[in-house]
Structures are given as C-alpha cells and as structure tokens.
C-alpha cells in the first residue's frame, strides 16, 4: 500500500520518542502544509498480558468490534493524540483495530484523507503493509530487548533515531523533505541513516 504523503514513525520499545519526533516534525512543517495526526493501536483477541505493556489501561478491554476510528477533539492533557492536536495538526485520529483488521482500518481511514494533507502516523504495525514517503524507527541506547512488532520495521526503516542523543532528532528531520506535486503532498527522504551499528532483534516487552 503506497502512501507517499505519510511519515511513519515507530519505536523499538515504550518511551523511546515516537511522539517527541512527531511533535518536532509538526513544529517544522505546520505553517507550510496541513497535517493529519494518526495513532494506531493493535489489539489481540483473547486474554493474557497486554502486548503493549499497559496492563490496566483499558485500551483493549474497552474495545469491541473489528476496528474503530476515533477523532481526538481535546487539545489539553498528556495523551499522545492530544499533544499532536495541540502541536498544530489540523485533525488527529486514533485507530484501534484487531491485528487482522489493521489494514482494512487503514484503507478506510486513508480513503477520507485529502491528498494535499500530510499524514503523521505513530505505528509499528503499518510497516507490514504500508510504503510511506519516509519512515523513522525511534530507539533509546541501553534498551536490550525490542518489541516484536519493531523487527520488521527495523529492516524497512529509512532512519533509526537514537533518542538518547537529542541532536539526532534534528539530524533526521533535516533529511526529510515535503513537496507538493500536482496537488499532492509528497514526503521524501534525503538518503538513509541507520543510526546505530547494531540493535537487539529479539525479545519482547
């Protein structure tokens, strides 16, 4: 699935800077292009430990159906979607979907997005089937195990950004460009940066 107007940002573990990077990207481009924020959460059927590491948060237990697309309206608070809206995204959405329905949910979402908008997306799962304009995998030095969902992303990512060094965010941002071609916004990358010489590729959180 080719989405040239998407910046896809994933992470190797929790608290490694996905939203921080997206906020910096919005700050750089919000006055030149309209942006749509998107956060995608995958949900697995059945009981057991939350695969997001957020036991008790209610994200999975409050969900019903195959997928849902929720628009964020509140600009206050610490939720990632609210931060994206406050940072300058014109609209922000949250997709919650069963693993096997993530692609269907993404197709439904993108069908409603005008091509002249940038989509700034936080998700590991979309790397399975989406070819974005540019992709960034966030990491923090010292983390010894990564999310299983990050393993495929790691192989495809244009940039691996180590959040433990703040200057890396600016270095990656400088390599991502936006342009408008025949009314469509295109996200492009200038080269690739694999960030670290090696990362653990097994383990889970």
Give per-residue pLDDT as tens, 80-139.
999 999 999 999 999 999 999 999 999 999 999 999 999 999 999 999 999 999 999 999
Three-class secondary structure of residue 40 per DSSP: strand
For residue 183, the domain's CATH number is 3.40.50
- Given a contact cutoff of 8 angstroms between Cβ atoms, the answer to whether 23 and 89 are in contact is no
Residue 199 included in any domain: no
Q: Band the pLDDT of 195: cuts 50, 70, 90.
A: very low
Residue 132 included in any domain: yes
Residue 198 included in any domain: no
| Domain ranges, residue 153 | 2-189
The pTM for the full model equals 0.86
* pLDDT at residue 76 in the model: 92
* pLDDT at residue 132 in the model: 96
- Given a contact cutoff of 8 angstroms between Cβ atoms, the answer to whether 17 and 160 are in contact is no
Residue 146 included in any domain: yes
Cα 85 from chain centroid (whole Å): 15
Number of structural domains the chain divides into: 1
Residue 196 included in any domain: no
Burial class for 65, CB neighbours closer than 10 Å (0-12, 13-18, 19+) = exposed
Residue 123 included in any domain: yes
């Amino acid at each position: 699935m080719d989405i040239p107007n998407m910046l896809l940002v994933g992470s190797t573990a929790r608290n490694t800077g996905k939203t921080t990077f997206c906020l910096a990207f919005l700050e750089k481009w919000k006055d030149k292009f309209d942006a749509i924020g998107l956060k995608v959460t995958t949900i697995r059927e059945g009981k057991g430990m939350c695969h997001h590491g957020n036991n008790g948060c209610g994200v999975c237990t409050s969900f019903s159906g195959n997928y849902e697309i929720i628009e964020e309206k509140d600009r206050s608070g610490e939720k990632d979607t609210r931060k994206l809206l406050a940072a300058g995204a014109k609209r922000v959405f949250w997709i919650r979907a069963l693993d096997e329905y993530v692609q269907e949910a993404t197709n439904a979402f993108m069908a409603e997005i005008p091509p002249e908008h940038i989509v700034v997306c936080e998700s590991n799962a979309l790397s399975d089937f989406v070819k974005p304009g540019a992709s960034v995998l966030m990491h923090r030095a010292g983390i010894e195990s990564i999310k299983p969902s990050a393993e495929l992303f790691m192989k495809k990512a244009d940039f691996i950004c180590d959040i433990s060094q703040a200057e890396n965010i600016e270095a990656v941002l400088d390599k991502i460009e936006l342009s408008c071609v025949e009314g469509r916004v295109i996200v492009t990358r200038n080269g690739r940066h694999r960030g670290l010489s090696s990362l653990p590729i097994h383990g889970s959180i």
